[in-house]
Amino acid sequence: MPRLIVFDLDFTLWDCGGTWCDCLSPPFRQQHGQIVDRTGRHVRLYDDVDAILAYCDQHEITMGLASRTEQPRWASELLDMLDITHRFPFAEIYPSSKLRHFAALQKATGWDYASMLFFDDEMRNIREVGELSVTSIYVREGLSNELFHDSLQQFADANRDA
């Protein structure tokens, strides 16, 4: 198992009405059991994300976030509203390269990059972070159970001899 699983936010863990969270229009509010912005864009976790986070909790896998956003405060507010902030003891949420995010995660945890698994929807991030020896998984349309569990196997296979 990975020591740390790192997730991107936009188009990986959540959908913000088809855009990035920094393109939303606060204030955010609960409306009919949903989180919406001022214009009515609906913010939601992808269908399988709750089960994936629960799996990580059950297997005591530490989780982190790496999100390149121009509005870190908005992302943090949405994480709070979705009631998942507590699941991520490590969160690098600010406008910068994912390489900077991962350098901070590595420094904070003391763990080797090879012990990390990363999910992101942008191929440039997958390529960059993959060069660090992090098992990096491209997420096409939101994280799914199938992709998550296939990726755990891919991580295990890549680290079998380590």
What residues act catalytically? Answer: 8, 10
- Rounded to 5 degrees, what are φ and ψ at 62? -70, 140
d(CA 147, CA 138): 9
Token pair 């204030």 is found at 27
* Contact by Cβ (8 Å): 108, 81: no
Token pair 């009515």 is found at 40
Beta-strand (E) ranges in 68-151?
90-93, 116-120, 135-138
Distance in angstroms between the alpha carbons of the first and the last residue of the chain: 12
Q: What would the DSSP string read from start to end of 100-122?
A: HHHHHHHHHH---GGGEEEEES-
